[in-house]
Amino acid sequence: DDVKELMKVLKANAFKYKNTLQMGRSHGIHAEPTTFGLTFALWYEEMKRNLTRMKTARETINYGQLSGPVGTFSSLPTSIEKHVCKKLGLKPDPVVTQVIQRDRHAEYMNTLALIAGAVEKMAVEIRHLQRTEVLEAEEPFEKGQKGSSAMPHKRNPVGSENLSGLSRVVRANAMAALENIPLWHERDISHSSVERIIIPDSTILIDYMLVRLTGILKGLQVYPERMKENIERSYGLYCSQRVLLKLTEKGMSREDAYSLVQKTAMESWKQRKPFRDLLKKEPSMTKYLSAKDIDNLFDFKFYTKHVDYIFRRVFK
């Protein structure tokens, strides 16, 4: 249910910000424009996979056994196991030793770890977007809340930071579950003490993390105007690939086109001048592209023309 509640919020935000233009980044560097709604659509699709994984893991772990010291039913009739498992809502494990094999538990724990990874992915993105230099979105900040005991101006992404830290615990517990798989012969108890800690702790943690993240995303403060400002911080360099492809379309070799576009882009950075203006002043460029051709390349609609198509695939 926690996953489903989170998915409702992700879907609502995806449609709310479907056409909110934002700079896409790779390696932390401006790449090409995207929309903030696509970020939520991406997270929604991942949580959809996690929901499927959780259903599968619950089936995998939904087994019981009551078959004697080494799993051979040496002192118990097989009917007892069937009766007890039915009463508990479990399926009898087809073959066991003294215990059910721990790969089942490891699958469940690793499913929790994957969910934790998805939670941290969202938390890390929020933390980046809340940085002063970016400030495209912020966690909700309640009246009377303090960001720092020493610096009253601070509004820190403490909720997302908390989720990042807890995700590490869940992933570490998943590793312990994998270590529990190899037991001596028909059983030892090296797994037992570990499971008493990691299974309840990770289960409770994931429940808490999903609820907290859902609250953060419900109250997320988004700043579209700041997103537009940040797009312009790289002087229009997001259009470099379009210029490159248009030059090759007009007959310039790809190698020459790449060198020319890169040289002009570096000058744009160095001089802090609009990329578009420098393109129009470059003789080697205007030999192939008119001023109108160049202007047409800087149309944001080009980058968002398939958003509807992607949304139909995700929210079908």
DSSP β-bridge partners for residue 64: 92
Distance CA 236, CA 245 (A): 16
Q: Are 240 and 265 in contact (CB under 8 A)?
A: yes
Q: Are 71 and 186 in contact (CB under 8 A)?
A: yes
Q: So which residues are the catalytic ones?
A: 27, 148
